[in-house]
Homo-oligomer: A and B are copies of this chain.
Amino acid sequence: MRTRDVPTLVARAREGDPRSVARLITLVENGDPKLAEVAAALAPYAGRAQVVGLTGSPGVGKSTTTNELVRALRKAGHRVGVLAVDPSSPFTGGAILGDRIRMQDHTTDPGVYIRSMSSRGQLGGLAAATPQAVRVLEGAGCDVVLVETVGVGQAEVEIASLADTTLVLLAPGMGDAIQAVKAGILEIADVFVVNKADRPGADATYRDIQGMLSLGERSPGEWRPQVVRAVAVKGEGVDDVVAAIEKHRAWLESSGRLQARREARAAAEVEAIALGTLRARLGSLREGTALSDLAARVAAGGLDPYAAAESLIKDL
- Within 76-119 of A, Cβ neighbours of B (below 8 Å) are at 89-93
Taking the complex as formed, is A282 at the interface, i.e. its CB lies under 8 A from any CB of chain B? Answer: yes
B267 and A291 contact, CB distance less than 8 A = yes
Q: Tell whether A301 pairs with B47 under 8 Å between CB atoms, given A263-B295, A270-B291.
A: yes
Taking the complex as formed, is A252 at the interface, i.e. its CB lies under 8 A from any CB of chain B? Answer: no
Q: Tell whether A309 pairs with B43 under 8 Å between CB atoms, given A91-B154, A91-B182, A266-B298.
A: no
| Residues of B contacting A305 in the complex (Cβ-Cβ under 8 angstroms) | 39, 128, 131-132, 266, 269-270, 273
A154 and B89 contact, CB distance less than 8 A = yes
Q: How many copies does the complex hold?
A: 2
Taking the complex as formed, is A302 at the interface, i.e. its CB lies under 8 A from any CB of chain B? Answer: yes
| Cα distance A90–B155 in the bound complex, in angstroms | 12
| Residue of chain B at shortest CB distance from A286 | B267
Q: Tell whether A307 pairs with B263 under 8 Å between CB atoms, given A269-B298, A271-B312.
A: no
Shortest A150–chain B CB gap in Å is 16
Shortest A180–chain B CB gap in Å is 11
| Residues of B contacting A291 in the complex (Cβ-Cβ under 8 angstroms) | 267, 270-271
Beyond contacts A262-B299, A267-B291, A270-B312: 10 other A-B pairs, Cβ-Cβ < 8 A, are A36-B304, A43-B298, A46-B300, A47-B300, A92-B182, A270-B291, A270-B295, A271-B283, A271-B309, A278-B278
What are 21 sample pairs from A and B whose C-beta atoms fall under 8 A apart? Answer: A40-B304, A40-B306, A46-B299, A46-B301, A91-B183, A92-B183, A259-B299, A263-B292, A263-B295, A266-B294, A266-B299, A267-B295, A270-B309, A271-B285, A271-B309, A273-B305, A274-B309, A274-B313, A275-B275, A277-B309, A278-B278
